[in-house]
Structure formats: structure tokens, C-alpha cells
Chain A
Amino acid sequence: MEHIFAAFAEIATVHTLLLMSAGAIAGLLSGAIPGFTIAMAVVLTLPFTFSMTASQGIATMIGVFVGGLSGGLMSGILIGIPGTPSSVATTFDGFPMARNGRPGLALGLGVWSSFFGGIISAICLIAIAPQLARIGLEFQPWDYFALVFFALTITASLAGKNLIKGLISGALGLLVATVGEEDINGVSRFDFGSDYLQEGFAFLPVLIGLFAFSQLMGDIRNPAEARRSLVQAGDIDIRIEHMKAAKIVLSRWVNLVRSAIIGIFTGILPAAGSSISNILAYDQAKKASPAPEKFGTGTEDGIIAPEASNNATAGGSLITMMALGIPGDIVTAVMLGALLIHDVVPSPSFISEAPVLAYSIFIAFFFANFLVLFFQSVALRLFVLVTKVKMYVLAGIILAYCGIGVFALNNIVNDMWTLLIFGVIGYAMRNLGFPLAPMILGVVLGPIAERWLARAVALSTDMTNFITHPWSVFFLTLSLFSMGFGVYQRDRGKKVWTLYYTPLMVLALAPAMFMMEGVIRPGIGVVMVAGGLYALYRAHQKAADFKPAAGERT
């Protein structure tokens, strides 16, 4: 309890709340502007966090994160272009409702669903993460390495359409992190005699170069589009109908809670973020509705479901980050990077080792939802102003800011060169079809993986430890399935083998549960075997009637 009070005292200061407010407004705006992503906004916030304490820095970034998730609804509802992929489904009913003369209500429904979704998610975060983190106390170096290895295999899921390019991107990220003096023995690697390379690449310039710099270059590539205003929004004078919307959202509590749970669960799963959860929740709301035919014409449930779920996803991804110390998406990868900058090494024992900081994150997430709700109207006015700015003006100024921002990290001009180099690399990779998310994951997780491997080998050179420690077996098994997840995603519904993927995964994970001590976990193992066998039987039945899509071979 004292940790909660100490954390509350850290967050509930005027200074921290002001920083969070600024973050929330910045997030709302970046979420609202099509072409700007939440991840980019969080990345650009990083330089400001150096001079802050770890809890203030993370709290500010959480403000941006939650703001960004809520901001996407503004442009989606008002102009029919979702500000972020997490608001795609909001547009389906939000835009028609706005065009039917009820934009204030549409915005209100979005705002209040986001708020309640976020609050439900915050409660789950506070309740689940510490319980899950207790498992982390059992971890030994082999288990830690297996866990980080599993996180690295997520790159396969983040690869998108081209699996091999995603994997190459992830491996390149790992490689970038090995350049320069290593932490353990201080030996320089891949420096080719250059003092610049001997220093290694700092995380932030690499991140901003890869992500923000390269994206801005993409935004201004087309000269005609670069000279256009950000959004052709025109003059908007709308009042958000708060009272009416809040009542409607609460009256549809089943849809609200269901969508929030979908969001939380999707967030917990690595690599499945809010861009997926909002569509899943919309689909479920439509299926559960007594009038599914009204979806797409401006129905209230069609706005509530995606907005509640996309905000709830943030809490889910924070659960994974806090309890296991692994990032589920780019935003949490950046947050982990920010913790590293403040000398906090994320791991499953994070909550027990740094409880005040951990609870600060919980409380900040809780507060952020209130701040975002409060600042929606302000952000709406700012959004209208920002829409009049031309893209090239914003890009030019942000490019300069990127340079100054990365310099602030270590006061080294070399970091600005790193920014330029990785800006070029990032832009080239984007244009060649290589996804950047796996590379960022590789840069963040590479040094952590090496550190745990070194510790494991230092304790014992017997490699069988990796298959005799239950958690190590659990995560290595999960890694095998994670590596195949990209192919599974691609072939699902098209090839018969995908029917067996989930049952086989459940069955394969059961032996690790049997290896664990006590009664409960082996008991869970028994349930997994029974459930897995039943699912396998069902899959076998479905396989007999399986009809692949036209042109696909089974």
C-alpha cells in the first residue's frame, strides 16, 4: 500500500500533471492528423523526457499514448479519414452519423467510449499485472533469455505481408545493437577502426531516424501533396454532446464491457495492437446486435465498440510490458527504451524491484484517461487550426526538432549523424518494403537478450538448462509457434493446416506446465491437454468439410 501512496505522490504533482496534460494534447493532435502515428508522437516525446524523472517521463509518454488512441476518432468522425489505424472502424458509423447532422453526438460517443474503455483497462492493468509479475520472481537467467527470445520471435508477427523481409529487418535491428563496445567485457565490435562506430549507436537517434525521420520523408515525397493542407476539414464549429453521449454509452454497457475486454486481450497478445482490436470489437458488436443491418449507417453501437476497444488495448499492452518486461508493439518498445535511458532495466521482476515506478505507471495510465477526456474539446479546436497547416511546413520544423532532440540525449553531435544515417536507412527500407517495427524491436531487445544469455552461460555452460527449466521450455515452445504465426496469419481460412495451429500450440505448451511445482499449474496442464485434444478433434472434423478460398491449395 505504501508503494501506491508513494507512486500517487509522484504522479499527482502539478508539474507531472502539466506534463501529462501537454502529452495528452500532443497525443490527441497527432492521433487526429492522418499520416501521423501514435508511435511517432511517442518517439518524438522521448527527447523531452531526459530531463525528467523516470516516472514523469513515462507518465508523459502514457499521456501521449492514450491521447493518440482517442485522437484518431476526431478526423475519422468529422472527415471520414481515420487519424490512426486504431480508429478505422470508428469511421464506419461515426462519419455517417456526423453527415446525418449529429456530429456532436458522434464525437461525444467516441470520447466517452474511449474514456470508459480506458478506465476498464486501467482497472485490469492494476489488478492483473502485479499478479502476473509474481511469476517473474521464479525466473532464472535461462527463463529470462527464453522470454526475450520469444519477444524477438514476435518480429515474425510484425512482419506483415512479407515475412522474410520482416525477419531480415528484425535481424538487422539486433545487429545494429551489437555495434560498438559491449556492456559485459567492454570489447568493441564491428567498429572497423572508426571512433564513431566504437561508441556504438545510441538508441534514440536510431529510433527517431528509423521511424520519425523516414516517415516525414515519405510524407513530403510527392511535391503536390507536400504543399497541401494536412486535412481539407473546412470550418468546423461543433460542440461535443457530453451528457447525452455519456448516458447512451452507459446504457450500452454490455457492448462497452465486451469491447473493452476484446481490447485488453488483444493488447496483452504481443504484436496484436489497437489496429486489430477496433475492427474485432466492431465485428462482435455487429454480430451481437439485434439490428446488424443498421451498422454502417451511423449506429451508436458502431462507434462505442471500436473506441472502447482501442483505448482498452493500451492497458493490455502495458500489462505485457509491466509483468513480463517485453514490448508488444512499437509504443511499448519505445517506453521500454525510455526506461533503459533512465537506467531501469525492464524484466519480469520489474514490479517487485521498482514498485514505486511500476505503480506510477498504473496511476499515470488511470489519470491519462481523465486528462484526455478533459482536453478533447481543446484538442478539437487545435485540430481545426492544425488542419490549415501545410504538410511541408510541419515536416520541415519537425525535422529540425528531431536533430535538436537527439542532441539533447548525450550532448554529442555524432548522435545527429546517427539520426541522418538511420533516417536514410529507414526511408530506403520503407521504400523497399521492409517493415521497420521488427527492426526497432531488435534494437531494443538485442542487448537484453545478450545480457541474459551471458548470465545463463556464466552460471552453467550446460545448455540442457534451457530445456529443463519449465518457464524456459514454455517460452521456447511458444517461440516456435510465434515464428510460424506470420505464415498462420497469411494462410488462415485458406489452408487446412491452420485449423490445427492453435490446438497443437496448446498441447505443446502443456508439458511445461507439468514440469512446474505445485498442484495448480500441473492441473492447468491437464486442462490444456483436455482442451487441446478436444480442439484437435473439432479441427479434424472441420478439416473434412474445409473449403479453401478459390485458387488456394490445401
Chain B
Amino acid sequence: MRTLNRDTVIAILLLLFCGLLAWSSLHIRQPGYGTLKPSTWPQIIVAVLTLFSAVYFVQSLSYPGSGSAESDGRKPGLSGFFEYFRNPIICFAIYFVFLITLPWAGALVGGILLVFALLTVLGGWAPRDLVRHAIYATVSMGFMWTLFTFGLRVILPEGEIFSIR
């Protein structure tokens, strides 16, 4: 059996997504005032997106060779995917952890840790690198924090541990 190509999978996911949105648009509250219903515009967009997704689906079946791991120059399979996208995946994960710990660490401490972690993961963790990354992280985040807090008067998230905004 021939496996589905990437474009076909994306098209199917888009069509499923359109179905979900179409169902959700039927449950949008309709107030008794106003001539254009709140659901009309979203329903128009969902209909258009469904049409485009259907065309995309048909197109993906017509050109089954397009959209594959090999065309990106990466190895097939999940391990190839993780190897190829290692840096972005780790960066997104670090950012996720930064946001989760933001109420606890605060913008300044959390930000310094974020920059330090990103630089270390991307640039290496030899002792000299670690020192350099720590300096970069402290100086850059310190500057940003000062600029936003005192220059732009933005109240950045305050951390529980040090109570520093």
C-alpha cells in the first residue's frame, strides 16, 4: 500500500479542522439585534478554507511525489525528524519552560535563565562558553529589563522567589 505524502496528510488535517470549526460556528450565540449575525463572517471563512483545503487535497493526490522528508534533505522517520529539527524543538521547549516558570522566576531572573539556556544549548557548554553565555544573558536581559521597566514604564511579571519584576 502506498503511504500518504506529507501534503495529503496536511490537507486531511485541514479538512478535519474545517469540520470542527464548522460545527463550532453552529453554536455561536445569535443576539436578537444587528443585521449581520456573529456567525456569518466566520462561516464564510470556514467555507472558503474548506474549499481551498479540498483543492489542496486533490492537488496533493495528483502530485504524490511532492512534500517528503527526503525533499528537505533529512532522514526519514521520527528519529530523522528529531535530528533535523533538534535546535528548534529544544528552543520551543525551553521557551515553554520559561513561560511555565514565569510566575515563580519573574521576567528578570526567568529571562536571564532563558537566554543562558538558549545560548548554552545552541552554542555549546564548554567552561569558557558557559561563562560567556552567563555574561551575555545577564547583560542583555538586564538591559532589556531596565529599558522596559524604567524607560517604557512596563510592569513586567514579578517573580515569587526574589520579588523582582
Contact residues of A with B, CB < 8 Å?
A: 48, 50-51, 164-165, 167-168, 171-172, 174-175, 178, 182, 184-185, 187-190, 192, 217-218, 220-223, 226-227, 390, 392-393, 395-397, 399-401, 403-404, 407-408, 411, 413, 416-417, 420, 423-424, 427, 431-433, 446, 449-450, 453-454, 457-458, 461
CB-defined contacts of B3 to chain A, threshold 8 Å: none
Q: A395-B122, A396-B122 are in contact. Are A171 and B156 (CB under 8 A)?
A: no
A185 to B88, CA, bound (A): 40
In-complex Cβ contact of B115 among A51, A190, A400, A420 (8 A):
A400
CB-defined contacts of B119 to chain A, threshold 8 Å: 392-393, 396
Closest CB-CB distance, B146 to chain A, in whole Å? 11
Contact between B88 and A427, CB atoms less than 8 A apart:
yes
Q: A395-B122, A417-B99 are in contact. Are A457 and B14 (CB under 8 A)?
A: no
With A397-B140, A420-B95 given, name 15 new contacts (CB 8 A): A51-B154, A164-B56, A171-B49, A185-B33, A187-B29, A190-B25, A226-B122, A227-B123, A393-B123, A400-B115, A408-B154, A416-B102, A449-B41, A454-B36, A458-B34
Closest CB-CB distance, A95 to chain B, in whole Å? 28
Contact between B95 and A407, CB atoms less than 8 A apart:
no
Cβ of B104 under 8 Å from chain A: no
Interface size on B, residues (CB 8 A): 64
CB-defined contacts of A407 to chain B, threshold 8 Å: 107, 154, 156-157
The residue among A50, A187, A400 with the most chain B CB atoms within 10 A of its own CB is: A400
Contact between B124 and A178, CB atoms less than 8 A apart:
no
Closest CB-CB distance, B1 to chain A, in whole Å? 24
Contact between A457 and B156, CB atoms less than 8 A apart:
no
Contact between B118 and A184, CB atoms less than 8 A apart:
no
Closest CB-CB distance, A137 to chain B, in whole Å? 25
Q: A396-B115, A411-B154, A432-B6 are in contact. Are A184 and B122 (CB under 8 A)?
A: no
CB-defined contacts of A167 to chain B, threshold 8 Å: 52
**27 intermolecular pairs with C-beta atoms under 8 Å apart:** A48-B152, A168-B52, A175-B42, A175-B45, A175-B46, A184-B34, A187-B31, A187-B38, A189-B38, A190-B25, A190-B42, A221-B84, A226-B87, A227-B124, A390-B123, A392-B123, A397-B136, A400-B111, A400-B115, A401-B144, A404-B111, A407-B157, A432-B10, A432-B67, A449-B41, A457-B35, A458-B35
A396 to B72, CA, bound (A): 25
Mostly, the B contact residues are helix
Closest CB-CB distance, A423 to chain B, in whole Å? 7
Mostly, the A contact residues are helix
CB-defined contacts of B109 to chain A, threshold 8 Å: none
Contact with A along B72-112 (1 / 0, CB 8 A): 10000000000011111001100110110011000100010
CB-defined contacts of B53 to chain A, threshold 8 Å: 168
Tell me the B97-151 residues at the A interface (CB within 8 Å): 98-99, 102-103, 107, 111, 114-115, 118-119, 122-124, 136-137, 140-141, 144-145, 148
CB-defined contacts of A164 to chain B, threshold 8 Å: 52, 55-56, 59
Contact between B107 and A50, CB atoms less than 8 A apart:
no
In-complex Cβ contact of B21 among A175, A413, A420, A424 (8 A):
A175
Chain B residue, CB-CB nearest to A48: B152
CB-defined contacts of A50 to chain B, threshold 8 Å: 152
Per CB-CB distance, the 9 closest pairs between chain A and chain B, nearest first, are A396-B118, A392-B122, A187-B38, A171-B49, A454-B36, A217-B88, A408-B154, A450-B41, A178-B42
Closest CB-CB distance, B73 to chain A, in whole Å? 10
A192 to B35, CA, bound (A): 25
A457 to B34, CA, bound (A): 9
Q: A220-B91, A227-B123 are in contact. Are A404 and B148 (CB under 8 A)?
A: yes
Contact between A424 and B92, CB atoms less than 8 A apart:
yes
Contact between A420 and B92, CB atoms less than 8 A apart:
yes
